[in-house]
Structure 1
């Protein structure tokens, strides 16, 4: 365990600071002859001060010490550590994709036209704006790229869910998305940002010549990228392939792939180019997904947690293991199984299976694991 994984331990000097201990020291310092009995004025007067001092030491001072180190900082304070490391927290990403519009020949669909999903009792309609102006051709059907109006994971939607136009565009008879709209991601979590800060510090002094670590870092600098697999010399000398998943663990969509390519190659401004001159060709593709399901029976847990929360926390923990699995080519059963009891409130279980067995999951070179079903009982 390195310093990044160690649990924070409060320094010794914050000890002996319970209110009763502080007050006892205060009472002991009173001049001789002063009433020091419980209920007396000095006793009642010193206790509020002792309580405040105890809180200052045990809570505020300890939290201040934690904020000084990126290993233990959070929220805005972790952002400041990121700035010091030369990076910044990635904002939420916008989902994107394509819709097919059917209507009268010659109908103009202006850029920024809003199309949406159907609202339900539980959620409002999701809105998407067209990226460019298009005209419906003689075939009475046209495809147009769209981007979600609101950023975030919630802006992702399945195929055949975008069915309505928010504005009344005369000549449009129907709209649909034949494929899922993807790429919407939440603001980078503290855990992910902390990992990138760690990577940045560990790579200080690196040559930036375009080794595997460089390509992974460059890819992750783009909003929405979750992980990157590097395949060197895949098509001969001087060629590199990057295999991407987004922050949701799903294959990167076209827009995200283009954003990563532009960031690394910078075809419009060579002064911003990261790609080494000796690399003749950079290819970026979405990952192939290896679906993984988990089954756990006989769970023993206390009243502080329920099954749904256990499943939610397990998904978060197992997603962090996928990056290591990608590097080694194997999702190791004995590394995933202990995650169950790492969840606060869970004390034991009977059986744990990955894809129905107690075996490791082997990944092909361009495969990335993704959680499919989690069945806990």
Structure 2
């Protein structure tokens, strides 16, 4: 707002008020007397501008944004811990139980056993909060000796961990609440309730999906992928553990069904022309990451269809790609439709030269 009030502008304005018959050149008594004051005034304008930005939700950041939203009953989501499924085997590939509290590691990330699911199957919670707990799969190494344990592996993401909510994410959620207030079980209410459960990234609400009084709540996780069975059960228990009885967040009489979004696999096949700076494997890795980010940005959006031209442009933006001669999505050269209750996820990526 006060960007125009720079040191040079203020100094020039002050010098204009000095009579013309006085020496106003740099180094003169008048110039040297005015310059420090101009500098201080410019600094003051910077502070005033920063303070103004700190009191409006669309420009505030960090603790200032937290202070603005707190009177509305909102608070920033903190980082959460991923819950994963672990498989444990002894001799002859026989399932073996491990003690609760046992600790394991994979690629430097540590997990603790917290719950038994079945023989040789346990829930493990990551010891580091955030999305890092969702990323690793494969062989687990025990941190202490466990008698009879031959192999251990980390598999499904039961409840994804999430990073601390950024300013942009928190601001968008707060503005949505203010502009679309929840009222007595409206759609905004169901979205709010579902998002209050750790691990939920986005929500679609489908009223009257199976007749009067029915509501279907479709969720995806914080990685913008179909929610796990465990996460669906957690949200169901939070919103409506018993249909119509009002024992959860949902009002009496509402029959609420929670469901994970259906996945629409997006397979890519392309013949790539490299410029010689990177290998095909490196190009594939980067393209898969860019595709994941693009598909996540579409999840439960106003237009969730996957654009053929956009994915093609992503390929051309990858370092090492000069051009491509063929490019197909799911065997076609057109857009891929994603219907309500579904989310696009990356399938096989097949690149050749």
Class of the TM-score when normalised by the shorter of the 2 chains:
0.7 to 0.9
2:113 to 110, 114, 130: 130
Deviations 1:267-322 (A, max 9, x none): 7xx99731111123x33232222244789x99xxxxxxxx9999988975764443
Report if the CA contact (8 A) 2:159-2:231 is conserved.
no
Q: Is the 8 A contact 2:88 2:121 kept in 1?
A: yes
Cα distance change, pair 116–312 in 1 and its aligned pair in 2 (3 A): closer
Q: How does 1:199-278 map to 2 (within 5 A)?
A: 199-204=176-181, 206-209=182-185, 211-265=186-240, 273-278=248-253
Paired residues, number:
325
Quote the residue 1:4 is aligned against.
none
Question: Quick one: distance in 2 between partners of 1:311 and 1:102?
Answer: 33
Q: CA deviation at 1:153?
A: 1.0
Q: What is the TM-score with the length of structure 2 in the denominator?
A: 0.74
Instruction: Return 5+ residue gaps in structure 1 as ranges.
Output: 1-9, 120-124, 299-306, 344-348
User: Does structure 2 retain, via aligned residues, the 8 Å contact 1:230–1:241?
Assistant: yes
How has the CA–CA distance of structure 1 residues 100 and 194 changed in structure 2, closer, same or farther, with 3 Å as cutoff? same
| Distance change >3 Å, CA 272–CA 27, structure 1 → 2 | farther
Residue 134 (structure 2) pairs with residue 156 (structure 1): yes
The answer as to whether partners of 1:156 and 1:181 remain within 8 angstroms in 2 is no
Query: Does residue 185 in structure 1 map to residue 162 in structure 2?
Result: yes
User: Contact conserved, 1:92 with 1:223, CA < 8 A, in 2?
Assistant: no
**Counterparts in 2 of 1:314 and 1:146: CA distance versus 1, 3 Å:** closer
Q: 1:324 to 1:116 in 2, by over 3 A?
A: same
Instruction: Provide the rounded CA distance (Å) in 1 between the counterparts of 2:76 and 2:110.
Output: 25
Q: Distance in 2 between matches of 1:371 and 1:48?
A: 60
CA contact (8 A) 1:110 1:133 kept: no
Q: Distance in 1 between matches of 2:85 and 2:220?
A: 19
Q: Deviations over 1:53-81 (max 9, x none)?
A: 22332x33223222222122222222223
1:230-253 alpha-carbon deviations (Å, 9 max, x no partner): 233444544333221112112222
CA 1:354 to 1:91, structure 2 compared with 1: closer, same or farther past 3 Å?
farther
Greater alpha carbon shift after TM alignment, 311-320 vs 242-251:
311-320
**Is contact 1:331-1:362 (8 Å) kept?**
yes
Cα shift at 1:219? 1.0
Matched, 1:99 2:86: yes
TM-score, normalized by length of structure 1?
0.70
**Stretches of structure 2 lacking an aligned partner (at least 5 in a row):** 274-282, 318-322
1: CA distance, partners of 2:64 / 2:23: 46
In angstroms, what is the RMSD of aligned CA positions? 4.1
For residues 157 and 322 of structure 1, do their structure 2 counterparts lie closer, same or farther at Cα, with a shift above 3 Å needed? closer
1:173 to 150, 157, 163: 150
Aligned to 1:89: 76
SS at match of 2:239: helix
The aligned counterpart of 2:105 is: 116
Q: Give 2:264's aligned residue.
A: 290
Given that 2:97 and 2:120 are in contact with CA atoms closer than 8 Å, whether structure 1 keeps it comes out as: no
